Amino acid sequence: MSEASRPQLVSSGQTLAQKLLARASGKPRVEPGEIILVQVDLAMAHDSSGPRRWKPHLDSLGATLWDPSRVVIVSDHYVPAVDGESAAILKLTRDFAKDHRVEHFFDMEGICHAILPQKGLLRPGIFVAGGDSHTPHAGAFGCYAAGFGATDMLGIVVTGQTWTIVPETIRVEMTGSLGSTVSAKDVMLVLCRELGMDNAFKAIEYGGPGVESMPMDERMVLSNMAAELGGEVGLIAADKVTLSHIRAHGGCATEADLAWKPDPDAAYERIISINLSDLEPQIALPHSPANSFPINHALGSPIHQAYIGACVGAKLQDLHMAAQILKGQRIAKDVRLLVAPASSQVTADAAADGTLSTLLAAGATLLPSGCGACAGMGAGLLAAGEVCISTTNRNFKGRMGHAEAFVYLASPYTVAASALTGCVSDPRKFFSELAVAQ
């Protein structure tokens, strides 16, 4: 990993963030530090942050949605209902979507960040405002996608507008290619350690041949965890891979959308270079994603639960990674392996291609699609003293249940390998054994 700071000369080049914000604000060009009013193309919220928080205020202000066709509501936090409170929240959300004629309402189909690309709702260039901190996920499609709290989102769904401060951009340049049991998740755990989590009011821009070599499911990990870096957005310029993903999911994208890319002479706050070929599996120890180390640091630490879930860590590709390690194996006695696919479509696809039966044969328990234990709300919470290794993106104290529980973050390869042994394990060992056996 190396760092180079470019001289901050007067430059005519623009970062991707500048270009996207110029479009959203209707200006020819914007500069870092400028406070701008932006037009929102797509507003997304879920059952926890959306209708339940908006409804009383909309009613008392006598306001309504500015454009129901640009509002997406996803029930993913309290699904499926497990008690009276969660049932009431989900009913309120359904009734709201119906009353306000929100056609893009997805009830128990999966996690909001997985739903947006799956339904073909993203297109390079657009401004996406989401009532969830992992909204930067959509930046993998060249969208300016940022997270907001419920009050900001209320203003957005009523007016279609919000304000932001044009951010400086940190460019992460990736070369090389990932090893056989190393993933984008490992890249992000390195970046959390190297860049820290205190990059508020900044944009993260990923690029280079290392990024171009990744499929969309992996690029989404980079964009998603820009949130852990503290970034407003995690942007990746669209390429042919992006366009074909959008088209394959019924979305609209043309060759002209490839113009949404940074200029070669753009001015960055700094540029970080990372060679993916050198990367080892990583693990974040409790209680921060930035508390990360190469896997050797924690080998052999006992675990009670292995969790494959969340927007960042339970896409089809993540399930494939786990299945590569688990194929023909059986998880350790006294360990529970929980799998909560990011969407019901992922479950269906994994069933169709045999991945699901591989996971179940290894002893996995299949959970509903939703934010689940990652948000501390669904099935799979931890008791005091328990240790979980998880494909999720946060391991703050108390996040997955008890404040005295411990969560390690790692890739699906590492989580699966650890489920087999009952302790933190290096997935490279299992992969080579598989190769020898074949």
Partner 1 sequence: MTETAGTGRAFVFGDDIDTDLLAPGHLMKLSAEDLAQHCLEAIAPDFAKSVQPGDFVVAGKNFGLGSSREQAAISLRLLGVGAVIAPSFARIFYRNALNLGLPALFCEEAYRIAEGDQLMVDPVLGKITNKTRGETLSCKPIPDHLMAMVRAGGLIAHLKSRRGT
| Closest distance of CB 132 from partner 1, Å | 6
Report the C-alpha gap between 37 and 45 in whole angstroms: 20
Q: Between residues 132 and 173, which has the closer beta carbon with respect to partner 1?
A: 132
CA separation for the pair 293, 317 (Å, rounded) = 24
Q: Which residues contact 83 (CB under 8 A, 6 or more apart)?
A: none
* Cα–Cα distance measured from residue 21 to residue 100, given in angstroms and rounded to the nearest whole number: 29
Which one, of 40, 57, 95, lies nearest residue 73 by Cα?
95
- The smaller minimum CB distance to partner 1, of residues 233 and 410, is found at 233
Helix H or strand E encompassing 310: helix 310-313
3-state secondary structure at position 283: strand
φ/ψ of residue 200, rounded to 5:
-60, 150
Question: What is the closest distance, in whole angstroms, from the C-beta atom of residue 51 to partner 1 in the complex?
Answer: 14
Q: Among residues 83 and 334, whose Cβ is nearest to partner 1?
A: 83
Q: How far apart are CA 91 and CA 65, in angstroms?
A: 19
Three-state secondary structure call for residue 413: helix
CB of 199 to partner 1, least distance (A): 9
Q: How far is the CB of 381 from partner 1 (least distance, A)?
A: 6
Cβ 183 vs Cβ 322: under 8 Å: no
Comparison of 30 and 178: residue with beta carbon closer to partner 1:
30
- Rule CB under 8 A: which residues touch partner 1? 48-49, 53, 57, 60-61, 78, 83, 85-86, 89, 131-133, 147-152, 154-155, 197-198, 200-201, 230, 232, 288, 375-377, 381, 394, 396-399, 401, 403
- Which is closer to partner 1, CB of 19 or CB of 202? 202
**Cβ-based nearer residue to partner 1, 70 or 394:** 394
The least distance separating partner 1 from the CB of residue 296, rounded to whole angstroms, comes to: 25
| Least CB distance to partner 1 at residue 58 (A) | 10
Judged by beta carbon, residue 155 or residue 422, the one nearer partner 1 is 155
Cα Rg of the chain, angstroms? 21
Task: Pick the closer one to partner 1 by CB: 96 or 148.
Answer: 148
Minimum distance from CB of 230 to partner 1 (Å)?
A: 6
Which amino acid is present at 174?
A: M
Closest contact distance (angstroms) between CB of 339 and partner 1 is 20
Nearest to 362 by CA among 382, 388, 386, 333: 333
Q: List Cβ neighbours of 192 (8 Å cut-off, separation of 6 or more).
A: 225, 228, 229, 284, 288, 289, 290, 292
